[in-house]
Amino acid sequence: MPVITMREALNQALDEEMARDPKVFLMGEEVGEYQGAYKVSQGLLQKFGAQRVVDTPITELSFAGVGVGAAMIGLRPVIEMMTFNFCILALDQIFNGAAKLRLMSGGQYHIPIVFRGPNGPAHMLSAQHSTATENWFCNVPGLKVVSPSTPADAKGLLKAAIRDDDPVIFLESELMYANTGEVPDPAAGDFVIPLGKADVKRVGKDVTILCWSKAVFHALGAAAELAKDGIEAEVVDLRTLRPLDVETIYRSVRKTHRVVTVEEGSPYAGIGAELAYRIQHDLFDELDAPVVRVTALDVPMPYAENLENLVLPTPRDVAAAARAVLYRS
């Protein structure tokens, strides 16, 4: 299989879906003439024209609203947020519009819209550009939330998100756009990964590590370190945060009986808290230790690199948590 970057994989997904369905269009800041702030939309303006690759003013509320309206009349907009830190300005359209219109219209409207772009901490971007927002969106019924970790997952899941008839929040990572990985060749056929399916990135029997996005690489790094001590960690990449693939999560927990969750968001009301609740509620008798959460510190992100490194979780933190649930710390 070809090895490409996550940026290229996302571009392939957009290109293929826009060619497949004329109702799909891309809208956002700098997506056209500038080829995308992170070059995800490179070449799409030249191929599909300005009516389907639409540059917008710097006004998230307005172009999110245009997207919701377009979805209401049957189009399939993909709305790029230059960073999900800026989506705060568009939350009314996402939370009160996209997420609720299907219910409030009695099913008369479907809202097939994707909001996508970089989420979470990048590198030395300070507090206003470093928020991990996934728990916000997971708290809103009516939204689906996706956060891939590999180029193949990014392509397959974005194609599924664009085809979905409900609003999807598609959270990428600025630091992962240049990551490379194998992705099926487009000539080999349509490559789509269904939403709501987790993926076991590493098989193990001693402890389950639940993670997504950049945290997958913290978990894999920790698993490699733990293996030196004979500890076999199973790394489960959730990929879709809402809806959760409970079946895959529980199958792993029943095998290992110990769980660590890893996320780059703040601990208070994080995704790990929901995972820990569900596991202890449904699988209490399977657990041989309490669930341990690894998160960022509960502070606004500092700018200085040394302080940022103190705030964010590391593979060492994940390995320490795994040893703790194994009573080997």
Active-site positions? Answer: 60, 129
**Residues paired with 181 in a beta bridge:** 4
For the chain, list the strands marked E by DSSP.
3-5, 24-28, 53-55, 76-80, 114-118, 144-146, 168-172, 180-182, 199-202, 207-211, 233-237, 240-242, 259-262, 292-294
d(CA 321, CA 308): 20
d(CA 128, CA 20): 37
d(CA 263, CA 269): 12
Contact 204, 233 (CB under 8 A): yes
User: What end-to-end distance do the CA atoms of the chain give, in Å?
Assistant: 41
Concatenating the DSSP letter of every residue in 173-201 gives -GGGTT-EEE---GGG------TT--EEE
The rounded radius of gyration (Å) of the Cα atoms in the chain is: 20
Neighbouring residues of 293: CB distance < 8 A, sequence distance ≥ 6: 260, 261, 263, 267, 270, 272, 273, 276, 321
d(CA 260, CA 291): 6
Output DSSP code: residue 259: E
Return the structure tokens found at 215. Answer: 């945290």
Contact 76, 23 (CB under 8 A): yes
